[in-house]
Amino acid sequence: MINKLKIVMASDHVGYQMKKDLQEYMESMGHIVEDVGANNAMRAEYPIYGRLAADKLARGDFDRAVLICGTGFGISLAANSVHGVRCVNCTDPYTAYMSRLHNNANAIAFGGRVIATELAKSLLETWLSTEFEGGRHADRVDMLTDMYAKPEPGAYTASINP
């Protein structure tokens, strides 16, 4: 059983159709989904929409974010520029599962030119239904949060365990 979530979505022009298909799929599962753009298949810049969705996620307006561009890389990089967003680009079930279980990823990116919509639906189902394991992994996620808060080179220091 998947808990009902508030999900923000964004894409560039390449990911537009997959985004619409995934939105419909998630809404059929009972999730509340908000699409923040792009609003059509005309050229659109993935950094703008990735950042817009990530800002909403980081503010706490949404539980998760689903992002799509040509490869999934660019839009995930834009999302990861926001403190508190942990966006992963997934192409297979294992990474979708582990990104939630161990990394508590709160955003997922897909490449509209890389994977089929049906695969993206399957990956979403895994990702949305997997709970964060916590424990030692929570310490690592906390480290990432600290790193995001200190983006300047050399600003983050930590002891290294032998």
Amino acid letter, residue 152: E
**87 counts as catalytic:** no
Catalytic residue among 69, 87, 90, 137: 69
Spatial distance between the Cα atoms of 81 and 66, rounded to a whole number of angstroms: 15
**Phi-psi sector, 116: left (phi>0), alpha (psi -120 to 50), beta:** beta
Residue 78, preceding bond cis, omega within 30 degrees? no
Judge whether 64 and 5 are in contact, CB under 8 Å.
yes
Catalytic residue among 13, 31, 90, 102: 102
Spatial distance between the Cα atoms of 55 and 128, rounded to a whole number of angstroms: 20
Spatial distance between the Cα atoms of 148 and 4, rounded to a whole number of angstroms: 28
Count CA atoms within 13 Å of residue 111 on its CB side.
Answer: 13
Spatial distance between the Cα atoms of 65 and 55, rounded to a whole number of angstroms: 10
**69 counts as catalytic:** yes
**Catalytic residue ranges:** 69, 102
